[in-house]
Amino acid sequence: MDTTDTILEVKDLVTRFATPEGVIHAVNGVSFNLKEGETLGVVGESGCGKSVTMLTILRLIPQPPAKVMRGEALFGGRDLLKVSNDEIRHIRGAQIGMVFQDPMTSLNPVLTLGRQLTEPLVTHLNMSKTESRARAAELLKMVGIPKAETRLDDYPHQFSGGMRQRVMIAMALACTPQVLIADEPTTALDVTIQAQIVELVKRLRDEIGMSIIWITHDLGIVAGLAHRVMVMYAGFIVERAELKALYSKPLHPYTLGLLGSLPRIDSDESIRLTNIEGRPPDLSTAPVGCPFAPRCKFAYERCIKENPLLKAVEVGHEVACWWDVERGKPRYDG
């Protein structure tokens, strides 16, 4: 993590969904960058827009019902939201790899693994049949699947959940991408299998040197994996900081609440968990004030009227909040 070259830059992304019940404001002006070799953790609860953000960038979101209102996603000097369909297909397969949450449904059940693993190699790297098969076996070995050569002829149902997720990772890494986007890749897995996958990704990260965006709702996984973390709520980034700063000094009341509501496995004491009162945000109306205000114990008048922007309050630590939780008073005067 010595280089600070930005590999992916997303600016002011806005995605909405048109539904019979009205417009859903899923992503409301999200900007971030990903540096070379960096692992960026994206943390938030269901419906916070973390997945939609990534799907929008990769143009994997069906339009309609979704509509990308504005924004840019700069990757290698090109705007991913504007390049041709052929180009984005090539980038998705070869330069940006993806792993999704559910390893049970992301593989095609009627094709052998060999067929699914060699496809990107043939399409994007113009490999021959034998070359691609050898590489596919190598990939399976890399992610720790025994008897890789023979297992290429097996179908997805012949693998367990953890193994399927390994296969998904192998597939995402088939063309040695510069960026890996992992969307809750361990959520559907048991904790011992989750540990296997996290260790695997860490090892591959060091070997290949790729950048990773790791989307999760679990602040525990991120703590052992990411370099930087951004916390999302209701389609906004509400806090962003270096890993240790976020955990040692959370500045947004939502981040504070999330950390307080997590019990610790390494603590003898059983302290009462802090609640975040209320219910998840309603995305069907554009928020006027701060989207977290209805659940925030620090909220005051300004929070209901104006939505705070994400602003750096310390070097490398940004927060979108009117209240200074450390000093216990409004952060900005006036």
Partner 1 sequence: MTDKSTGNGKTEQVLLKVKDLKKHFPIRRGMLQREVGAVKAVDGVTFDVFQGETLGLVGESGCGKSTTGRAVLQLHAPTSGEVVFEGKDLTKLKGEELRKMRRRMQMIFQDPYASLNPRMTVGDIIGEPLEVHGLATGEAKVKKVRELLETVGLPPVFGNRFPHEFSGGQRQRIGIARALALNPAFIVCDEPISALDVSIQAQIVNLLEDLQKSLGLTYLFIAHDLSMVRHIADRVAVMYLGKTMELADKNELYNNPLHPYTQALLSAVPVPDPLVEEKRKRIVLQGDPPSPANPPKGCVFSTRCPLAIDVCYHDVPVWREVKPRHLVACHRVEDGGIVPSIV
Interaction mask 214-233, partner 1, x per CB under 8 A? ---xxxxx-xx---------
Q: Which stretch binds partner 1 (CB under 8 A): 74-82, 104-112, 126-134, 240-248?
A: 240-248
Sheet holding 179-183, edge to edge: 96-99, 179-183, 211-216, 39-43, 228-233, 236-242, 317-319, 311-314
CB atoms within 10 A of CB 186: 24
Among 199, 207, 314, 326, binds partner 1 (CB under 8 A): 199
Q: What are phi and psi of 224, to 5 degrees?
A: -100, 5
Type of residue numbered 142: M
- Of residues 117 and 276, the one with the C-beta less far from partner 1: 276
Q: Is 244 in the site for partner 1 (CB under 8 A)?
A: yes
| Cβ 281 to partner 1 shortest distance, Å | 11
Q: Is 279 in the site for partner 1 (CB under 8 A)?
A: yes
Distances (CA, A) of 11 to 17, 41, 164: 19, 18, 34
3-state secondary structure of 104: coil
Sheet holding 6-19, edge to edge: 22-35, 6-19, 66-75, 78-79
| Cβ 198 to partner 1 shortest distance, Å | 8
Q: Is 275 in the site for partner 1 (CB under 8 A)?
A: yes
CB atoms within 10 A of CB 284: 12
Distances (CA, A) of 55 to 49, 65, 108, 235, 328: 10, 14, 20, 13, 38
Q: Is 191 in the site for partner 1 (CB under 8 A)?
A: yes
| Cβ 204 to partner 1 shortest distance, Å | 15
- Of residues 17 and 159, the one with the C-beta less far from partner 1: 159
Decide the pairing of beta strands 317-319 and 236-242.
antiparallel
Q: Is 264 in the site for partner 1 (CB under 8 A)?
A: yes
Rounded to an integer, what distance in angstroms lies between the CA atom of residue 304 and that of residue 105? 42
Residue 158 has what DSSP assignment? Answer: G
Rounded to an integer, what distance in angstroms lies between the CA atom of residue 199 and that of residue 209? 15
| Cβ 325 to partner 1 shortest distance, Å | 17
| Cβ 100 to partner 1 shortest distance, Å | 19
| Cβ 54 to partner 1 shortest distance, Å | 19
Q: Which residues between 5 and 64 bind partner 1 (CB under 8 A)?
A: 45-46
Q: Is 304 in the site for partner 1 (CB under 8 A)?
A: no
Identify the residue whose tokens are 């052929």: 86
Distances (CA, A) of 17 to 5, 60, 80, 286: 33, 14, 20, 12
Q: Is 207 in the site for partner 1 (CB under 8 A)?
A: no
| Cβ 274 to partner 1 shortest distance, Å | 7
Q: Is 255 in the site for partner 1 (CB under 8 A)?
A: no
Among 139, 212, 241, 258, binds partner 1 (CB under 8 A): 258
- Of residues 121 and 258, the one with the C-beta less far from partner 1: 258
Among 162, 177, 235, 287, binds partner 1 (CB under 8 A): 162
- Of residues 85 and 248, the one with the C-beta less far from partner 1: 248
Binding site for partner 1 (CB under 8 A): 45-46, 160-163, 190-196, 198-199, 217-221, 223-224, 243-244, 247-248, 257-268, 270, 272-277, 279-280
